[in-house]
Amino acid sequence: MVASLVGDPARSNMLTALMTGRALTASELAHQAGITPQTASSHLAKLEAGGLIEPEKQGRHRYYRLTGPDVAHVLEGLAGLAERAGHTRVRTGPKEPALRRARICYDHLAGDLGVQMLDSLRKQRLVRQTKQDIELTGEGKRFMAEALQIDTEALAHPRRPVCKACLDWSERRHHLAGTLGAAVMNRFTELNWAARDPAPGSRVVNFTRTGEKRFAALFGSEPA
C-alpha cells in the first residue's frame, strides 16, 4: 500500500515538499504537485489514511506534515534508488546545484555537505559506523559539546535513535540523521552559519560565508 501511495507522481511531489519538515496547506501542496486543489484534496486524504501525513488545524487553515522522520528516511532512500535506476522525477532547474550541495531532509542536513560531514566524523573517529548503525564515541561526545555546544546526553528519544545513517539520494552515500543530525542542523541555524530557503516546499539550505568557513574548519573543505 505504501508503495502505491508514494508511486503516484502528484503524491510523490507532495511528500517531497513535506520533507522540509514544515507544515504546508493543501493549496501549497497542490501548487508543488502541479494539480488542482480538488485533486489535491483526494490525494491528501489517501496519504492521511495511509499514515504518511497528518493534518493540523490552525484558525481557518488546515496544514499537513509528515507523520515522522521515518517517513522522510524512506522517501530519501526511494529517491536514491530512483536516481540510481534512472527513474528519478526530480525537477531540474536553477536551484538544482544548490539542492544537491546542501538541503534539508526533514530536520537534518543532506546533500554534498551532509555526506561530507558524516565522512569527516568517521575519519576523525568521532563516530563508529557499521552499515546503517552509527554510534558516537566518547571523543565524539566531547567534540559536540565543545565545538557546537550540543549536550548529546539530552538527545535520547524513545522512538528515534540519536544517530542514524540516511541514504542520500544525490550522493548515494549516507548522511547523518537521528536526533543528533537534527541538533547539529539546528545549531547551524542558531549560529547563523546556514539558513533554509523560505519558499514553500524548498529544501535548499544556504550557508553564509562565515558558516562555510566554520563548517570547513570542523569537517574539512568542500569536495570538488
| Per-residue confidence in pLDDT tens, the chain, 224 aa | 677 888 888 998 999 889 888 889 999 999 989 999 899 999 999 999 999 999 998 888 889 999 988 898 888 877 766 666 555 554 444 468 899 999 999 999 999 999 999 999 999 999 999 888 899 999 999 999 999 999 999 999 988 999 999 988 888 899 999 999 999 999 999 999 999 998 888 899 999 999 999 999 999 865 43
Domain-wise residue ranges, the chain:
2-67, 92-219
Given a contact cutoff of 8 angstroms between Cβ atoms, the answer to whether 205 and 195 are in contact is yes
Dist. CA 149–CA 193, nearest whole Å: 14
Class of domain 2-67: mainly alpha
pTM: 0.80
Dist. CA 90–CA 198, nearest whole Å: 20
Q: Other C-beta atoms within 10 Å of 62: how many?
A: 13
Q: Other C-beta atoms within 10 Å of 21: how many?
A: 18
